[in-house]
Amino acid sequence: MNSKYVVRVIKYAILQLVVAIFIILWLTPLYAMLVGGFKSNMEAASAPILLLPKQFSTEAYYFDWFGFGTLIGLEFPMIRQLLITIPVALASVVFGSMGAYFFYIQMERRPWVSNIGFSIISLATFLPAQTLTVPLIALTSSIGIYQTYWGLAFAYFIFYLPTSALLMSIFLPVVPNYLIESARLDGARDWSIFWHVIFPLVLPGFLSTLIFVFLMVWQDFFTPLIIATKPSLYMLPVAARQYVGGYAILYNRSFAAGVITSLVPLIIFAFLGRYFIRGLAALGGGAKGI
């Protein structure tokens, strides 16, 4: 009895230790980035990376935020990023959910429609974005939205719509089929079924997908790199890239740019992380998690 207890305590302690090690490993770069941004350039380049700054300085943040000379400050890219990412993520996930619902209800009546649909969605999701560089530029140019916000939104949308649909199609089966049938017998058409019955029930999954897609769009470097190359259209990841140094690396400014760029994802994870987890948990427990 007693020895069992000891074994349990030891097991628990080992587990905790492993978790602690992982947390430290994951947080170390974040910590280095945070403290590095508050160092002077000289100190950031010479002192050990994990030490706290001797002289606390906000110079690097000021420099990054407002820009200097030919370097574009991150202020406007940040606003741009928010103004484009939020509606694009929302639209992708809403339309993606609708698409997933369509394929879900086709599963029974016309299985081939949903099989082919899912294959296309998967293909679109897992196809490396780089392979679409030339067609995407050609397409946006031909409809006159290359180098515009619309072009950017369009590109994000077509990249992340299939991702959203695929993710939502994992969450949708949480809604039992008989509820859809019941709604149909109650006289509801698909539009009403989706908004009145499906959507409220997959809300946790919807939020998870929304958060995920938002973060994906936020950290997407490649799409804005090829679609919005004019400095006046710089998106945050592209703008932050300037501070990694063209001619010389200014470590404190790179760190500060990193912090500014990851600010929004960090806030989202801190405040909405539980919704993200809840959506995933709803998957495991069937409809009970809702």
Of the candidate residues 1, 25, 185, 248, the single one contacting another protein (CB under 8 A): 185
C-alpha torsion sign, points 99, 104, 110, 115: positive
CA-CA distances (angstroms) from residue 257 to 252, 261, 263? 9, 6, 10
Of the candidate residues 98, 183, 210, 217, the single one contacting another protein (CB under 8 A): 183
- Please report whether residue 189 would count as binding another protein according to CB under 8 A: yes
Angle between helices 251-284 and 75-109 (to 10 degrees): 20
CA 54/CA 73 separation, integer angstroms: 26
Judge whether 101 and 169 are in contact, CB under 8 Å: no
- Please report whether residue 191 would count as binding another protein according to CB under 8 A: no
Of the candidate residues 16, 115, 119, 182, the single one contacting another protein (CB under 8 A): 182
Q: Which is nearer to another protein, 101 or 156 (CB)?
A: 101
Q: Which is nearer to another protein, 49 or 203 (CB)?
A: 203
Shortest distance, CB of residue 203 to another protein, whole angstroms? 9
CA 55/CA 51 separation, integer angstroms: 11
Rule CB under 8 A: which of 67-126 touch another protein?
A: 109
Burial of 111 (0-12, 13-18, 19+ CB in 10 A): exposed
Of the candidate residues 197, 210, 213, 235, the single one contacting another protein (CB under 8 A): 197
Q: Which is nearer to another protein, 25 or 185 (CB)?
A: 185
Angle between helices 203-218 and 75-109 (to 10 degrees): 140
Shortest distance, CB of residue 180 to another protein, whole angstroms? 9
- Please report whether residue 287 would count as binding another protein according to CB under 8 A: yes
Note the residues at the interface with another protein (CB under 8 A).
109, 176, 178-179, 181-189, 192, 196-197, 200-201, 287, 290
